[in-house]
Every structure is written in structure tokens, then in C-alpha cells.
Amino acid sequence: NAGVMQNPRHLVRRRGQEARLRCSPMKGHSHVYWYRQLPEEGLKFMVYLQKENIIDESGMPKERFSAEFPKEGPSILRIQQVVRGDSAAYFCASSPVTATNYGYTFGSGTRLTVV
Amino acid sequence: AQTVTQSQPEMSVQEAETVTLSCTYDTSENNYYLFWYKQPPSRQMILVIRQEAYKQQNATENRFSVNFQKAAKSFSLKISDSQLGDTAMYFCAFMKQSGSRLTFGEGTQLTVNP
């Protein structure tokens, strides 16, 4: 039973390019969460999605960032026109139902470096 | 809004000894969940232990236990018989009973020395 799979593990983008981060939840999990970890900081919530629905995007920057979790396929976190400040580790997590009872399972993260 | 504070950026302990990591939080909620996550150099976030606020009994998982003081809003993690593999960043986290987002502290880097 594979865990939460994130790819790529490392991603390098030049300023102004687009970054696409993918997350495949654990089998049977229909809830996905994205977090961002800036250097030397804790994880910060970005967005919570269920299949085809964004439930809570209150942690997402208003511009350039978007997320989706289609009926088929992985969840995608998309960052348009990346800037140096977007350099961070982006973590995805999943749960079978709302996560309140036991937390959730995290992936290994994607480290985005903007040069 | 909830906040989580970890006042110890770094700690070290000798192998086989016991260490306690501190965490305090602020919330107006009465029912909630608290977690400790471990992040080794591999960067994987690993759940160490969880506590429901409505339970008075402190959670225990093998060598890991918590001291949950609800009135003081304190949630410390005790690691007994420390092992080299315990070297990692440890994050304390809060979740409302009615919500799904985790609020993390800034982390404590624990180093276990041989």
C-alpha cells in the first residue's frame, strides 16, 4: 500500500516559469491537503481539497497559485510566474475522511528552487 | 486563530537518556486535537503521537509520551531511551475538532549524540 506520492522530489524553475507539483493520495483517500514549508520554518496550510472540490483555500496566496483535485488523476498545485520567494518545500497529505480524528499521512514533499 | 509555540529551537541529548520538548498553544476552542510530528533529514513528516483534548489521560506510544496540561495549554513530548534515529526536527501541531487544517509550531531540532 503505497503512501502519499509526490513528484517531482526536486524541481528547479527560473523566475517567471510555471511550476506544477503533483500529489497522488493514498489508495482510498479522497481528501488532500497542501502545505508549504519555507526554510527554517514550520509547515503552513495552503489548501484543502476533495475530489473536484476546493473546500478551504484560505491559506493560498491570492495570485499565481491554484490547486485542483480532479475526479481522475493526482492533485496538482500550480504556481505561475514563479519568484524567488516561492522557493520552499511543498507537502501534500491525504486522509480517507475529514482528518480530525487522527491527523493525516504526508508525502515526502517537493522542494522547489527558483533561480 | 490558533497559535502554536515551540520555544526551543534546538536541543541535544545523549543516547539512552530522556529529553522533553516543549509546546504551548493558544486557542478558544474546548475540543481539539494535538499532534507531534517528526521530520528527519529525509524530510518525510512522520506522526509520532496524538492527543484528544477531551481525554485527561496522557497519550503514550512506546518510548514517546506527552504531558498534556489543558488549563495551561501545554503539550510537551518526552522521549525516553533516546536513540540516534530520533535525531530530527520535531513539530507540535494543533487541529480544531471541527476543522481539518493543522497549525504547526516552528519546530525543535533534536540531536541525539552517541
Which residues in chain B are closer than 8 Å to A11, comparing Cβ atoms? none
Contact A91/B at CB under 8 A: yes
Mean pLDDT of all residues belonging to chain B: 94
Cα separation, B74 vs B97, whole angstroms:
17
| CB-based contact A59 B101, cutoff 8 Å | yes
> According to the model, what pLDDT value does residue A100 have?
59
- Note the pLDDT tens digit of each residue in A26-68: 988 889 999 999 988 889 999 999 999 999 999 999 999 999 9
Element (H, E) at B61: strand B60-61
- A60 to each of A69, B9, B87, B104, how far by Cα in Å? 15, 27, 32, 16
Which residues in chain B are closer than 8 Å to A103, comparing Cβ atoms? 33, 35, 37, 47, 50, 93, 95, 102
Residue A1, pLDDT > 60, answer no
Residue A101, pLDDT > 80, answer no
| CB-based contact A109 B104, cutoff 8 Å | no
| CB-based contact A31 B100, cutoff 8 Å | yes
Cβ of B24: how many Cβ atoms within 10 Å? 17
- B50 to each of A30, A59, B4, B15, B77, how far by Cα in Å? 22, 24, 15, 24, 10
Which residues in chain B are closer than 8 Å to A46, comparing Cβ atoms? none
Residue A110, pLDDT > 80, answer yes
3-state secondary structure B6-19: CCCCEEEEECCCCE
| CB-based contact B43 A108, cutoff 8 Å | yes
Contact A89/B at CB under 8 A: yes
pLDDT-derived band at A97, boundaries 50, 70, 90: confident
- Note the pLDDT tens digit of each residue in B21-77: 999 999 999 889 999 999 998 888 999 999 999 988 999 999 999 999 999 999 999
Contact A41/B at CB under 8 A: yes
Element (H, E) at B39: strand B32-39
